[in-house]
A and B are shown apart, each in its own frame.
Chain A
């Protein structure tokens, strides 16, 4: 069961004289929903960019889906899905054009695109919106569509960077139902969020503090270790410990 799909060993990234990621070592197991938490500026984005094959580490090693982050970044990109809050879809393209554009990038055939795209439209009840510009859709719909597109090529692993920022509380929960469905279908989910109730929905979470992993475990384990009943207090203790 404990097959690692991400394996990082003393992973480090230095920008000038600033160490953004400072020797982190951890594993993400196949099929789990892994929450990647931490304060702004703690190094989450840098770590995530390395794991997505977008940035080379300064030292240390990591493998993602069995590929090396230094030498095989292109293979990593083909085997993962990625979705961010800020940029995920083209507002000026229709729903269908966004679907076929991303599917095309992942080298899916026209027949595959047609089949997978129709399935997405059906599941998200977007059939009548196929030709609508994505920019005209409500944010909640966009985010659900972006997620469906991020996994259209059935990747082994998907990275979600603050996927629910600004979304209403009902859609936020619907989004997590989609995450669980993807996980049930065997896709490993690596997700960042600032909503701490969502941290509880993850199988395991890690909390980054100033470039290092301050804590890692199931939400229950972390709360027990810090003698508290909330993840917020875990994060606060970590932040305070860091200051003293």
Chain B
């Protein structure tokens, strides 16, 4: 399949800081590609280069065949971009913001209403409210509408769900899936590991580099080693005890459990874990073998990278 976005060897430094380090990838039509990584990993720099707002130090990128350097006016008029920080006009109403963004792209709300219908239905009751007075989740929905109203060929969403509550995030992703199914590829970044599984492919980005890029299913299936979950009321004591056992790769808290990563599942190590917990904890506990989630995979990649 012909790629829709192609990035080759992109690098960008700010002074001594290498923000983006030789990044190459492709995005195909009809897919949601997620760039997952913490703040400062290079996500926003990458988005600014792809949206022609920043020129890379080296490397190149094309969108729909247009070069981000030479053909920037063509790219700007045909993409939808939602920057990381809320960038609508707080003193304009919901409807006025939308009309403004439609007009600067030479379009109108009426012409492309079908594009935003799914999301806008939720916003319509607040049409007259000033954008600055909306809640976080509603602001994000409005920003998405504003990025969509000119019927772009592709959507770039830079951390659209940061600071958004869990239920609103789920709704927001339901919207993204609908938009993709309507034929618009989406490039999205997020610091939330749980959103990875909503993407068709994800790139794990850290320290300006893509550590791995694949389907979330593949990344999870290729977790190295085996994973145990320990549940106990004495979580912090258990965590300290487990950190001292040799032969364990890592010990991390995960909600109501502790996840232990083992190079491989062997009876002696599990017996030892059981013996230590049996001896030191005063309450009941459980040990279960579990499948990793995306955050487990990301933690493993970060660990491997820091050992390099």
CB neighbours of B39 from chain A (8 A):
139, 166-168
Interface presence of A38 (CB below 8 A): yes
Min CB gap B124→A, angstroms: 16
Distance in angstroms between the alpha carbons of A171 and B302 in the assembled complex: 11
CB neighbours of B162 from chain A (8 A):
165-166
Q: In the bound complex, do residue A235 and residue B166 qualify as a contact, i.e. CB atoms below 8 Å apart? A: yes
Q: In the bound complex, do residue A169 and residue B299 qualify as a contact, i.e. CB atoms below 8 Å apart? A: yes
- Which residue of B134, B137, B193 is within 8 Å of A39 (Cβ)? B137
Interface presence of B89 (CB below 8 A): no
Q: In the bound complex, do residue A139 and residue B38 qualify as a contact, i.e. CB atoms below 8 Å apart? A: yes
Distance in angstroms between the alpha carbons of A42 and B138 in the assembled complex: 12
Min CB gap B1→A, angstroms: 33
CB neighbours of B138 from chain A (8 A):
40-41
User: A190-202, CB under 8 A of B: which get 1 and which 0?
Assistant: 0000111101110
Q: In the bound complex, do residue A140 and residue B167 qualify as a contact, i.e. CB atoms below 8 Å apart? A: no
A168's nearest neighbour on chain B, judged by CB, is B38
Of residues 118 to 170 in A, which have CB atoms within 8 Å of B's CB atoms? 138-140, 162, 165-170
Q: In the bound complex, do residue B163 and residue A171 qualify as a contact, i.e. CB atoms below 8 Å apart? A: no
Q: When A166-B162, A169-B298 are in contact, do A40 and B136 touch as well, CB less than 8 Å?
A: yes
Of residues 156 to 205 in B, which have CB atoms within 8 Å of A's CB atoms? 159, 162-169, 191-193
Chain B's interface size range is 20 to 34
Min CB gap A192→B, angstroms: 10
Q: When A139-B39, A196-B166 are in contact, do A166 and B253 touch as well, CB less than 8 Å?
A: no
CB neighbours of A41 from chain B (8 A):
134-138
B38, B138, B163, B193, most chain A CB atoms within 10 A: B38
B298's nearest neighbour on chain A, judged by CB, is A169
User: B244-283, CB under 8 A of A: which get 1 and which 0?
Assistant: 0000000011111000000000000000000000000000
Interface presence of A90 (CB below 8 A): no
- Which residue of B40, B295, B302 is within 8 Å of A138 (Cβ)? B40
CB neighbours of A170 from chain B (8 A):
299, 302
Q: In the bound complex, do residue A40 and residue B135 qualify as a contact, i.e. CB atoms below 8 Å apart? A: yes
Q: In the bound complex, do residue B37 and residue A168 qualify as a contact, i.e. CB atoms below 8 Å apart? A: yes
Of residues 171 to 206 in A, which have CB atoms within 8 Å of B's CB atoms? 171, 173, 176, 180, 194-197, 199-201
Q: In the bound complex, do residue A40 and residue B191 qualify as a contact, i.e. CB atoms below 8 Å apart? A: no
Interface presence of A72 (CB below 8 A): no
CB neighbours of B253 from chain A (8 A):
173, 176, 197, 201
Distance in angstroms between the alpha carbons of A220 and B136 in the assembled complex: 28
Distance in angstroms between the alpha carbons of A235 and B137 in the assembled complex: 15
Interface presence of B236 (CB below 8 A): yes
CB neighbours of B137 from chain A (8 A):
39-41
Q: In the bound complex, do residue B168 and residue A40 qualify as a contact, i.e. CB atoms below 8 Å apart? A: yes
Q: When A165-B162, A194-B163 are in contact, do A139 and B40 touch as well, CB less than 8 Å?
A: yes
CB neighbours of A232 from chain B (8 A):
166-167
Q: In the bound complex, do residue B302 and residue A235 qualify as a contact, i.e. CB atoms below 8 Å apart? A: no
Of residues 82 to 98 in B, which have CB atoms within 8 Å of A's CB atoms? none
Q: In the bound complex, do residue B165 and residue A40 qualify as a contact, i.e. CB atoms below 8 Å apart? A: yes
B190's nearest neighbour on chain A, judged by CB, is A166
Q: In the bound complex, do residue B165 and residue A167 qualify as a contact, i.e. CB atoms below 8 Å apart? A: no
Of residues 83 to 109 in A, which have CB atoms within 8 Å of B's CB atoms? 85
Min CB gap A205→B, angstroms: 12
Q: In the bound complex, do residue B38 and residue A167 qualify as a contact, i.e. CB atoms below 8 Å apart? A: yes
Distance in angstroms between the alpha carbons of A171 and B299 in the assembled complex: 11
B139's nearest neighbour on chain A, judged by CB, is A40
Hey, which bits of chain B sit against chain A, CB under 8 A?
37-41, 134-138, 159, 162-169, 191-193, 206, 236, 252-256, 295, 298-299, 302
